[in-house]
Every structure is written in C-alpha cells, then in structure tokens.
Amino acid sequence: MAEEKHHHHLFHHKKDEEAEQPAGGYGGEATEYSETTVTEVVSTGEDEYETYKKEEKQHKHKEHLGEAGAIAAGAFALYEKHEAKKDPEHAHRHKIEEEIAAAAAVGSGGFAFHEHHEKKKDHKDAEEASGEKKHHLFG
C-alpha cells in the first residue's frame, strides 16, 4: 500500500500584542506571520477502488432520500390542493402551502437526479480504478 504525502503551506496573519508600536509609523499594531503545514494523504490501488465504492453507496443513499422527499412533498401538495377545495374560507392559505410543497418536491427530485448522476460517475471511476474494462455494445 503506497501512500504519498503532500505538504501545503498556509500563511496565517497573527497579531503580536506584546510588540511595541513603531515610532513615526502609522500607529498600527505590529504583526507577525506564522506558517502552518497541512498534510494530505493520497492513496492508490485498492484503497482508491474502495473509496469510489463507498462514495457510490453514499450517493445511492442520498438519491433515495431525495426520492423519498419528492414523494412526501408531492403528497403534501396534493393534500393541500384537496384542503383548498374542502375549506374555502382558508383556500388562499392552502394554495400557498400547495405551491411551496410543489416547489419542495421539484427541488427534492432535482437533488435525487443529481445524486443519481454522481453515483453513476463514481461507479465508472471505481471500474477504472479496479482495472476492469467492460465492453458495451452501444457505449
């Protein structure tokens, strides 16, 4: 298992409260710069395949949550549409809630669609990482 480490250096601006103010300067505080090192671990081979498969599973879970949200919001929109007809005194309120629920259903469906494509991308990346080449007739 080969692991490579990459170091990134970030500079942080740090105020020095014990420093004296310069004589004839702008009257600002003296500053000191410190350096922080961030270590990033890059993995290869089997770990990369497992990472893609894990991400694919997470995207599948999120896709299902998006689908469930779309179904629930759509059902609530239909319920509010029914309530608007049933309760004419508060029909305007029910119509507004119906519109909001419909917008939430569309947004949730869009999220599910997005996660579906992320899942497909991770599946393809996992196949490439494993070295497996599948031959498809039309794609």
The three-point CA angle 69-71-74 to 5° equals: 105
- The pLDDT value recorded for residue 1 is 46
Q: Is 43 helix (H, G, I), strand (E, B) or coil?
A: strand
3-state secondary structure of 115: helix
84: helix, strand or coil: helix
Residue 107 CA to residue 69 CA, distance in Å, equals 9
Please tell me the pTM assigned to this model: 0.61
pLDDT for the residue numbered 128? 86
**How far apart are the C-alpha atoms of 78 and 95, rounded to whole Å?**
10
- pLDDT tens, per residue, the chain with 139 residues: 455 555 555 555 555 544 555 555 555 555 666 676 666 655 556 688 899 899 999 999 999 999 999 999 999 999 999 999 999 999 999 999 999 999 999 999 999 999 999 999 999 988 888 876 666 667 5
Would you state the pLDDT for residue 82?
A: 97
Query: How far apart (Å, rounded) are the C-alpha atoms in residues 93 and 84?
Result: 8
Domain spans of the chain?
60-129
